[in-house]
Amino acid sequence: MRRRRRLSWSLFYLLLAVVFAVTMVKISRPLRVLSGQQRELARLRAEKARLTEEMARLKEYQRSLATDQGLERAARREGYVRPGERRLVFVPERPAPKEGGPSSPEK
């Protein structure tokens, strides 16, 4: 009788351990998914903040274009000049080629 009780308690503990192990396996996948979703959410929130700042900057630029001075500044940045003005373009000087280099003429 005692042996049977001992066996039944052993079986109970074994069954309990199996149920615990299966439960842990079943829970681990949703926890990994949750962790991945939290990382994705943090990335999306950072992107939203960046886009919100960019949108505010673009709206400010749009408001500046609504004024005559802002519109003129933008046009001059694009290379437009007023009638009678001359457009000057500065080109950086290139260094002279070295003698005997691949770009120097052969004699």
pLDDT digits (tens, 9 = 90+) for 71-106: 999 998 888 888 999 888 889 998 888 876 565 555
At 56, the amino acid letter reads A
pTM for the model stands at: 0.49
Assess contact for 65 and 74: CB atoms under 8 A. Answer: yes
- Give dist(CA 39, CA 18) in Å, integer: 32
pLDDT of 107 reads 46
The token duo for 27 is 């829970």
The token duo for 95 is 């260094």
Instruction: Please list the alpha-helical segments (H only) found in the chain.
Output: 2-65, 68-77
Annotated domain spans of the chain: 2-77
The token duo for 53 is 């700042």
